[in-house]
Amino acid sequence: MPFELTILGSSSALPTSDRYPTAQVLNILGRFFLIDCGEGTQIQLRRQKIGFSRIKHIFISHLHGDHYFGLIGLISTLNLLGLKTDIHIYSPSELKNLIQPQLDFIKGEMKINLIFHPLNFKKQQKIYEDKRVEVFSFPVKHSISTCGFLFKEIKKQPNIKKESIQTYNIPIAKIKEIKAGDDFVTEEGKIILNKDLTTPAPQPRSYAFCTDTAYHESIVNIVKGVDLLYHEATFLEELSDFAKKTKHSTAIDAANIAKLAKVKKLIIGHFSARFNDISLFEKEARTVFENTVAAEEGRTYRINKK
């Protein structure tokens, strides 16, 4: 059962010849969540052979163009493909107004149904939930209102061992209670402990996305212990003053958040176009947090079942 992140774009605002602006796809158990949608996202989706029809939920962190200018093209393509489906967009409320004239222009041909969900920039909020996955938004610290996103599997109930059912003659009516944690009392009055009846479900996996943001310690508690953290690292340490001024992070900033939050693995991205050698970002971050990698476009990062 997959839990995997594919990077479509890892550049910052100015275009480079070999990196796209921010976009990524998170596949949790077959749900494809698109996170940010910079210009060229649909081309990158094609290259990664990710079917457009799988995308039903799009999360837009903030309204700087490098995080949403690819959205209208993607919507237009979903429409040209004749998909009749709901598409949920979780974004700053102004996004709808920004693209409304373009949506109106193609209104006569619109087959997909866009549902906008405005983000809350004051506090953490659950914005999506189904039986297996939940998603939270939380405010980060940038020059305009910006949210990070936290994606979590919901912990399944434990499985009952088949042989226990036979051995202790457990009636079907009791199974729900045992899954919920109850012990079982046999006809002879013997108590069988829950732990001997069940095998624990896998530990839920989690991913957090934080870009664009300055170094902001209130992120730490929210992303505590996640398996994978994507945190922006627009600048190297030599430009830390400029990072502060523009409300971006350095590689060291990202690594400090990862270290304080005790995450399992850190991916850094949103590299400024002025730097050609991305390995320097990795090098700096690893002085603080060893398990860091620089985002590579087209690469998929898997979190295995635990």
Spell out, one character per residue from 31 to 60, where the chain touches a copy of itself: x when CB under 8 A holds, - when not.
Answer: --------xx-xx-xxx-------------
The residue among 40, 48, 117, 35 whose CA lies nearest residue 77 is 40
The rounded distance, in Å, linking the Cα atoms of 70 and 38 is 5
Residue closer to a copy of itself, measured from CB, 101 or 171: 101
- Please return the burial class of 266, using the count of CB atoms within 10 Å of its CB with bins 0-12, 13-18 and 19+: buried
Task: Provide the phi-psi class of 29: left if phi over 0, else alpha when psi is between -120 and 50, else beta.
Answer: left
- Set 36, 66, 227, 253: catalytic member: 66
- Among the listed ranges 96-104, 168-176, 185-193, 247-255, the one in contact with a copy of itself (CB under 8 A) is 96-104
- Among the listed ranges 63-71, 110-118, 163-171, 229-237, the one in contact with a copy of itself (CB under 8 A) is 63-71
Q: Is 86 in the site for a copy of itself (CB under 8 A)?
A: no
Q: Is 148 in the site for a copy of itself (CB under 8 A)?
A: no
The rounded distance, in Å, linking the Cα atoms of 68 and 102 is 14
Residue closer to a copy of itself, measured from CB, 62 or 152: 62
Give the interface size with a copy of itself as a residue count (CB under 8 A). Answer: 32
Residue closer to a copy of itself, measured from CB, 7 or 303: 7
- Could you tell me the smallest distance in angstroms from the CB atom of residue 38 to a copy of itself? 9
Among positive and negative, which fits the CA dihedral 244, 249, 255, 259?
Answer: positive
Judge whether 66 counts as a catalytic residue: yes
Among positive and negative, which fits the CA dihedral 104, 108, 109, 111?
Answer: positive
The amino acid present at 146, given as its one-letter code, is T
Among 76, 146, 211, 292, binds a copy of itself (CB under 8 A): 76
The residue among 61, 50, 46, 43 whose CA lies nearest residue 26 is 50
Residue closer to a copy of itself, measured from CB, 67 or 265: 67
- Could you tell me the smallest distance in angstroms from the CB atom of residue 285 to a copy of itself? 26
The rounded distance, in Å, linking the Cα atoms of 147 and 153 is 20
Residue closer to a copy of itself, measured from CB, 106 or 154: 106
- Could you tell me the smallest distance in angstroms from the CB atom of residue 73 to a copy of itself? 4
Contacts of residues 220-223 at CB distance under 8 Å and 24 or more positions apart, as own/partner, are 220/257, 220/260, 220/261, 221/261, 222/124, 222/136, 222/138, 222/148, 222/150, 223/148, 223/150, 223/257, 223/261, 223/263
Alpha-carbon distances of 224 from 206, 207, 217, rounded to whole Å: 10, 10, 11
- Could you tell me the smallest distance in angstroms from the CB atom of residue 49 to a copy of itself? 8
- Among the listed ranges 101-109, 202-210, 221-229, 287-295, the one in contact with a copy of itself (CB under 8 A) is 101-109
Q: Is 271 in the site for a copy of itself (CB under 8 A)?
A: no
The amino acid present at 35, given as its one-letter code, is I
Residue closer to a copy of itself, measured from CB, 19 or 57: 19
Cα angle at 35 between 112 and 222, to 5 degrees?
130
List residues binding a copy of itself (CB under 8 A). Answer: 13-17, 20, 39-40, 42-43, 45-47, 63, 65, 69-70, 72-73, 76-77, 80-81, 94, 97-102, 105-106
Q: Which residue numbers are catalytic? A: 66
